[in-house]
Amino acid sequence: MFDKILIANRGEIACRVIKTARKMGIKTVAVYSEADRDAMHVEMADEAVCIGPPPSKESYLVMDKIIAACKQTGAQAVHPGYGFLSENQEFSRRLEEEGIAFIGPKHYSVAAMGDKIASKKLALDAKVNTIPGYNDAIETPDQAVEIARGIGYPVMIKASAGGGGKGLRVAFSDREAHEGFSSCRTEAKNAFGDDRVFIEKFVEEPRHIEIQVLGDAHGTVVYLWERECSIQRRHQKVLEEAPSPFLDAATRKAMGEQACALARAVKYQSAGTVEFVVDKDRNFYFLEMNTRLQVEHPVTEMITGLDLVEQMIRVAAGEKLSFAQSDITLTGWAMEARVCAEDPFRNFLPSIGRLVRFIPPPEEAGKVRVDTGVFEGGEVSMYYDSMIAKVIAHGPTRDDAIAGLREALNGFAIRGVSQNISFVSAVLAHPRFQSGKFTTAFIAEEYPKGFDASMVPHDAPELLIAVAGSVHYRYLKRNSGIVGQMAGLEFKILKHYVLLMNGEEYDIQVRDIEGGHVVTWNGKEYDIRGEWRFYDPVFRGMINGQEIVMQVERVGPRYRLTHWGLQVDIEVVSRRAADLMKLMPKKVPPDLSKFLLSPMPGLLTQLAVKAGQEVKAGEKLAAIEAMKMENVLKAEQDCVVAEVLANPGESLSVDQPILRFQ
């Protein structure tokens, strides 16, 4: 077994690997860019080596610097995590040449499966079901259109070295195929240094289901059941679960056996994932093989009780798997939510900045797990991925796992950057998701015009009313205790209040009881007890004997409550104040329709127009790069550019003007 390993990654996966290495008694070395000098993985590791400037192409993607760090620290092995160099065959080969173990598959397996074109041909040879398509690199947009017509729309345009939704487009027409090909090549070249692109048939009504495999150097290959990853937005996974609510035992076994056959064909040694697309009749087709640890690996760990990172380390050290296929159990149900720094109410645009508050839900063995690589006071950088944490819940049934994850997200307090918890919570509450009858098109179909606050369901307003009334009463009790009050004009606490929420009025009464309060609304009493403190953004307590977790904070005269993804501002006032507030004038927002504003912080990579130019609706105006993704801004209507207010290469802040129109 290794004495010391280096983690060639950052963020939550680096922290995840360090935890297992520490459990195994192995010392760890972290590498970091200048932007990550104060990152959590740097603090957790036994040693740390700076490997360059913030851009990943100058730090985390530079093999020479990683190898030099290994030699400098005496690390005997490298765990690549996911992303960066994790599926780079040259990196695996170079480490092997240097006598450093790669905690992952051998370079020839990475080469065979990392190239999506070659992997499809290998899958055919291994008698694995594959999707019809054109499996050679395509050179021009016109060729892409011709091939797409031959296959028949819709088609999927994919970068051969792609992953994580980058270098991937679905085209339903010649125009989309032409544009999608160019975008895929650009993204793939920037993200992976490989601009080869191929095309395959897009399976309609598809589900994305993947099989976790594990192989050792002694010829053993097993599968650890499946993961359902169909809930995706722009090909980025949002929720993952294990097992799948769609598969039956026969399909599960067939998929597992084909995944193992493919792994054996390339002499696979490590943890890997064989991804399939499954149609409505449970026909399944090979999609790709990820020769690395997956982001969603915790759900598999929860249902099997196995530590996949530990197994990867043991296999890399030459050990034989200590279990056979028949020994692998499937216990309960696990579900994972990716918490990302993005604003779901602004079309999921990236959000960067300092984490003013970061309070993840408490972990509970076998029930709730939180994997993260950030901490309160740390920063979310524009240079890297937007994911800041994963919350995983486990329960006896799928319904239990959903309920556990919803409750855990209730207590996840993040301030300083926008995050997608409200969106994830809305998906978890959606009847179609809860039924298990969904496809990869779920988000596009259920939220075709984007996401807004009205789409966050909350069928228990009495919980919000009760907590707001109780919290307000606590503030009043504290205020009444201020010393030095003038005789006859002491602070008086009322018993009757008007609660203002979403334009509606609710008449409530509040009174003290031992250990809490009783809020009366609509003829029903709510007994509220809890240890909430004024500075604590998370309220944990009981309402009529039932546990409640809700986020509460004071924002001026209002209370901002967050529960089940819904965020609502509530005012609790006297009847007289409520009547007077109806007379207050409304402030009219300024007209910004004549400006193109940057929808996110990022780098202005392209300006496609100039002053005086006439632009038609739908034409490209600019492109902004943020968190490794290119975002194209197009004209919403016909217009004329009056003035250019920002230049290519400039770092933009959110809502910064780029263009002014006449």
Cα separation, 33 vs 49, in Å, equals: 9
Q: Dig out the tokens for 646 from the structure.
A: 């920002």
Give the per-residue pLDDT at 402: 98
CA angle 190, 191, 193 (to 5 degrees): 70
Q: Name residues whose C-beta falls within 8 Å of residue 291's C-beta, 6 or more positions apart in sequence.
A: 86, 87, 104, 105, 109, 110, 113, 114, 268, 270, 272
Residue 149's region, left for phi above 0, alpha for psi from -120 to 50, else beta, is alpha
Sketch out the chain's domains with CATH numbers.
4-103 (3.40.50.20), 119-128+208-331 (3.30.470.20), 132-201 (3.30.1490.20), 339-449 (3.30.470.20), 461-581 (3.30.700.30), 595-661 (2.40.50.100)
| Crossing angle (nearest 10°) for helices 116-125 and 249-265 | 110
Partner residues linked to 372 by β-bridges? 389
Cβ(9)–Cβ(82) under 8 Å?
yes
Write down the pLDDT at residue 164: 67
Query: Is residue 288 annotated as a catalytic residue, yes or no?
Result: yes
**What pLDDT, on a 0 to 100 scale, did the predictor assign at position 531?**
84
Rounded to an integer, what distance in angstroms lies between the CA atom of residue 230 and that of residue 530? Answer: 38
From its phi and psi, is residue 332 left (phi > 0), alpha (psi between -120 and 50) or beta? left
Cβ burial of 629 (10 Å; 0-12, 13-18, 19+) is: buried
CB 456 within 8 A of CB 566: yes
Q: What is the pLDDT of residue 87?
A: 93
In this prediction the pTM is 0.84
So what's the pLDDT on residue 137?
86
Q: Which residue numbers in the chain have pLDDT < 70?
A: 164, 628
pLDDT the model gives residue 313: 98
Query: Do residues 86 and 80 make contact, with C-beta atoms less than 8 angstroms apart?
Result: yes
* Bond before 243 cis per omega within 30 degrees: yes
Q: What is the DSSP letter of 320?
A: P
Which pLDDT value is given to residue 628? 66
CA 136, distance to chain mean position in Å, is: 32
- Distance in angstroms (rounded) separating the CA atoms of residues 8 and 69: 10
Q: What is the C-alpha end-to-end distance of the chain, expressed in Å?
A: 69
Amino acid symbol at 567: Q
Catalytic residue among 87, 200, 240, 288: 288
Buried b or exposed e, range 236-264, using 16+ CB within 10 angstroms: bbbbbbbbbbbbeeebbeebbebbbebbe
In sequence order, which residues have a C-beta less than 8 Å from that of residue 322 and are 6 or more positions away?
none
